[in-house]
A = this chain, B = another copy of it.
Amino acid sequence: MEKVKIIEVGPRDGLQNIDSFVPTDKKIQIIKRLAACGIKEMQIGSFVAPQAIPQFKDIVEVVKAVNALRDVVLSVLVPNIRGAENAASSGIRKFIFFFSVSHAHNCCNVRQTPEESIEELKQICRAYLCDSGITLQVALATAFGCPFEGNIKTDAVLRAVDKVAACGVKEITLCDTVGFGNPKMVEEKFSASQKHFPEISFGAHFHNTRGLALANTLRAYDIGIRSFDAAAGGLGGCPYAPKSSGNASTEETAFLFEEMGIKTGINLKKLLGVCQFLQETLPQVKIASSLFQAGLPQKHKFVADNKRGK
């Protein structure tokens, strides 16, 4: 039976785009409710400096409250070695480190050149990669295009993958951070990456900025990708397109696969309930995914009297 892994990134990539602080107990409820839908892996926040992203100033409390959840791998974003140290102390066992393929975007986003980010990654790998308990995944931002540099060549992606792979990392996610990706590009970049780095497990992270998230997801699946980031309710966004849609929504991503007979492990009815909870809990965002608005397909009762003259 075919199956895919959907990594829920809403509590991290979704909430980091919300300016107002989401109370700790709400975050914990969101994470627990998402886990109860059968989600197998979830990014629950970031170990960043609170002055950089105040939304995650309560990350230690959040981890403490949810770290005992079973049947779900919990991960956190660590932007540097200090973040990794704090994450490790909290008891989290999976880290996400990210940097941008594009020089300009990395400089804007994390105020480092990509080369400096790689040095940071090496430190984290030296400290934690041999520690049997910790897994490290690297997310390559702007792999499909950059708001400053435009098109990002496949060669540039391959060079970045090469540097990450050389650090010993086994899981790499190619991210369409700003919604520039299209299915042709997805095929080119993932096919080349898989061909040159067969030892790496690649994941996809798409945004629905211009409506193509699920078409990109389908194409990535076609060529063998089996790990997809998504955010419940399509939370998230793009600072370079302020009114834009956010991440591929978990509910539509799961619906796409489940309808095709590809298992996700996710209970869609429960997940739409969580979307409703998100809408009530986060009134500052609009849960706009089409599936959430329409609901799951239903059979209606056919009233035969509608038949003309019969």
Contact of A299 among B150, B261, B294, B298 (CB under 8 A): B150
Contact B182 A107 (CB under 8 A): no
Q: Which residues of B are found within 8 Å of A304, using beta-carbon distances?
A: 107
One of B111, B148, B255, B303 near A300 (C-beta < 8 A): B148
Residues of B close to A300: CB separation below 8 A: 147-148, 240
Chain B residues closer than 8 Å to A147, beta-carbon distance: 298-300
A119 to chain B, nearest CB (A): 13
Please name all residues of chain B whose beta carbon is closer than 8 Å to the beta carbon of A208 when the two chains form the complex.
Answer: 290
Choose among B145, B218, B241, B244 the residue that contacts A183 (Cβ–Cβ < 8 A).
B218
Q: How far is the CA of A214 from the CA of B182 in the complex (A)?
A: 11
Indicate if A108 sits at the interface (CB-CB under 8 A).
yes
Given the interface pairs A107-B304, A112-B308, A302-B104, the reply to whether A260 lies near B184 with Cβ below 8 Å is yes
Chain B residues near A137 (CB, 8 Å)? none
Which chain B residue shows the least CB distance to A219?
A: B218
Cβ-based interface call for A193 (8 A): no
CB of A149 within 8 Å of the partner chain:
yes
CB pair B260–A307 under 8 Å, yes or no, is no
Spell out A's residues near B (CB within 8 Å): 104, 107-108, 111-113, 145, 147-150, 178-180, 182-185, 208-212, 214-215, 217-219, 238, 240-241, 243-245, 249, 252, 255-256, 259-261, 288-291, 293-304, 306-308
Given A214-B215, A240-B300, 16 other A-B contacts at CB below 8 A? Answer: A104-B302, A107-B304, A111-B306, A111-B308, A145-B297, A148-B301, A148-B302, A179-B294, A184-B259, A208-B290, A209-B290, A210-B290, A210-B294, A212-B252, A212-B259, A245-B290
